[in-house]
């Protein structure tokens, strides 16, 4: 049962929506304004967003790495930008997204200009009329996180080595204390 208050809230939301559209139309068409908003979002988001077909052909991309040009990337295979030994992970993520119709995620490194860049990739099926028409890949640069994880791993190894050395030295100290006590007892 919808309460009177619920109806009023819905009416207010609807009124606000139409009021906003009326305001927008003063400055341009709704389509123009929405297009401007989406273009700004598309160009400003820090992630790399690709739309691919089910075979991996790039149909749309919001940005590329400096060594590439968007016009050359569109129409090419997404596999061209992934190291060969990571193709299987990408294929599996695409297959899983197609079969389950849910988002799938994986991480891969890419190598360019002597640097390694780590990416977390989320593959999302785009469904229209109950059919998957394309897939989105949302790639987030997680290099700084990976570098911190590697640094933490190194520090943990150093800490383990120091802890082992500390235990060794503690054993030696106990032995020397016992010897000292034994020798004192003799004299």
Distance CA 94, CA 29 (A): 38
66, 148: one domain: no
Contact 118, 141 (CB under 8 A): yes
Extract the tokens encoding 111. Answer: 């190598």
127, 161: one domain: no
Q: Residue 28: its pLDDT value, please?
A: 67
9, 54: one domain: no
114, 75: one domain: yes
Give the count of domains, the chain.
Answer: 3
pTM exceeds cut of 0.75: no
Q: Residue 108: its pLDDT value, please?
A: 86
176, 148: one domain: yes
Supply the range of the domain harboring residue 169.
144-187
137, 161: one domain: no
55, 12: one domain: no
Final residue in a domain of this structure, among 124, 141, 158 = 141
132, 50: one domain: yes
Q: Residue 25: its pLDDT value, please?
A: 52
Instruction: Give Cα separations from 91 to 51, 101, 154, 162 (angstroms).
Output: 15, 15, 32, 43
* Nearest of 85, 89, 146 to residue 115 by alpha carbon: 146
* Nearest of 97, 152, 132 to residue 106 by alpha carbon: 97
92, 119: one domain: yes
74, 158: one domain: no
153, 131: one domain: no
The CATH code of the domain that includes 60 is 3.30.450.20
Distance CA 56, CA 150 (A): 31
Task: Answer left, alpha or beta for residue 28, where phi above 0 means left and psi between -120 and 50 means alpha.
Answer: left
Q: Residue 12: its pLDDT value, please?
A: 46
Looking up tokens 């200009």 gives 113
169, 126: one domain: no
Instruction: Give Cα separations from 120 to 101, 143, 173, 177 (angstroms).
Output: 19, 9, 49, 55
pLDDT, averaged per 10 consecutive residues of the chain (187 residues), comes to 48 47 60 81 86 94 88 94 89 94 90 84 94 94 90 90 89 88 83
Q: Residue 14: its pLDDT value, please?
A: 44
């Amino acid at each position: 049962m919808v309460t009177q208050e619920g109806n009023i809230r819905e009416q207010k939301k609807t009124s606000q929506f139409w009021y906003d559209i009326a305001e927008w139309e003063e400055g341009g068409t709704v389509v123009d304004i929405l297009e401007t908003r989406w273009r700004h979002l598309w160009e400003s988001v820090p992630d790399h967003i690709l739309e691919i077909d089910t075979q991996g052909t790039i149909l749309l991309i919001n940005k590329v790495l400096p060594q590439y040009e968007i016009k050359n990337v569109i129409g090419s295979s997404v596999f061209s930008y992934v190291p060969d030994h990571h193709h299987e992970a990408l294929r599996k993520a695409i297959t899983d997204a197609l079969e389950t119709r849910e988002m799938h995620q994986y991480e891969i490194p890419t190598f360019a200009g002597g640097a390694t860049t780590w990416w977390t990739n989320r593959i999302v099926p785009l469904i229209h009329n109950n059919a998957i028409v394309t897939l989105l890949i949302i790639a987030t640069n997680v290099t700084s996180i990976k570098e911190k994880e590697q640094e933490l791993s190194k520090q943990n190894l150093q800490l383990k080595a120091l802890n082992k050395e500390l235990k060794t030295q503690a054993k030696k100290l106990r032995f020397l204390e016992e010897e000292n006590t034994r020798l004192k007892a003799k004299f």
